[in-house]
Amino acid sequence: MRRILLIAAASLLLIAAAAILAPASLVDLLVSRATHGNAALAGAEGTLWHGRATLVANGARLPIGWIAEPWPLLHGRVRIHLEPPEGAVGAPRGLIEVGGDEVVLADAQITFPAAMLGTNPRAFIRPAGEITLTSQALAWQPPSASGNAALTWRNAQLVIGGAALALGTVSATLSASGESMSGPIVNDGGEVEVGGNVTLTAPAGIDVALTVRPRAGTPSLLLQALSAIATPDNGGWRLRWRGSLR
């Protein structure tokens, strides 16, 4: 019996050591599955629990570093502390916890290329610029979601066919309540004036309603492109998009 216990203890130690020393490259498999192959990790260093890599999606690259907590995994949750890799300026930071359809953010600031939101780098409409998500506390846990988050899209552009529509700086402040999270969208500068609202609903629905109005000097090519994809509305255009973040 003593020998059996010793063998069992040694086996558990080997399994624990293998998990602790598991290479960071294993995270690439998790990222690929979670994004259905739309994103990947490059140059992973360290271990599964404490590492660094570059997130790659639609040709855009973002350096990230992480520390993962093992115990939440026992409850089917992933709890990660994002930390900027050494020498990486503006890399994501904060706490992210994910379990099922639930997401919790704390002291988070995540800046990433807008191109990462595109599903196809050759799509007819593609975003460009840089987006920053900040949140001191957000618990996306419908039906009891709470907290808030701010989105700032700098040098915002929509590439429509062969034309780039400059939107200046686009901002949205979202508040979570019950089963949804919503807030207004406005912009500062750019070739057109943008206003509207965005609503997120459980588990992954998104509804964006925008009104776009031309400014003085808006290129005629862009006006033609907007006329082709949007509904005319009192000297401007209405755009509505409903879909899923999955």
Per-residue pLDDT reduced to its tens digit, 6-63: 333 333 333 344 444 456 666 666 676 666 677 777 888 887 778 888 888 877 888 8
**pLDDT-based confidence at residue 168 (cuts at 50, 70, 90):** very high
In a domain, 17, yes or no: no
Domain boundary among 99, 133, 161: 99
How many CB atoms are located within 10 Å of the residue 133 CB?
19
Please give the pLDDT value at position 17.
Answer: 42
146 and 36 part of one domain: no
What is the dihedral angle through the alpha carbons of 29, 54, 111, 120, rounded to the nearest 10 degrees?
Answer: -60
Residue 4 has pLDDT above 50, yes or no: no
208 and 124 part of one domain: yes
The better pLDDT of the pair 77, 106 is held by 106
Domain with 167, as residue range(s), is 101-246
Q: What single-letter DSSP state applies at residue 38?
A: S
Domain boundary among 99, 133, 148: 99
Residue 121 has pLDDT above 70, yes or no: no
106 and 29 part of one domain: no
Mean pLDDT of 151-175: 87
Domain boundary among 68, 83, 99: 99
In a domain, 7, yes or no: no
Cα–Cα distance between 165 and 128 in angstroms, integer?
10
In a domain, 13, yes or no: no
Q: What does the block give as tokens for 58?
A: 């639609």
Name the most confidently modeled range: 25-39, 113-127, 211-225. 211-225
242 and 147 part of one domain: yes
Please give the pLDDT value at position 188.
Answer: 94
204 and 153 part of one domain: yes
In a domain, 12, yes or no: no
Residue 212 has pLDDT above 80, yes or no: yes
In a domain, 3, yes or no: no
Please give the pLDDT value at position 136.
Answer: 93
Q: What does the block give as tokens for 212?
A: 């776009």
**pLDDT-based confidence at residue 116 (cuts at 50, 70, 90):** confident
Please give the pLDDT value at position 208.
Answer: 85
Cα–Cα distance between 189 and 172 in angstroms, integer?
15
Number of domains in the chain: 2
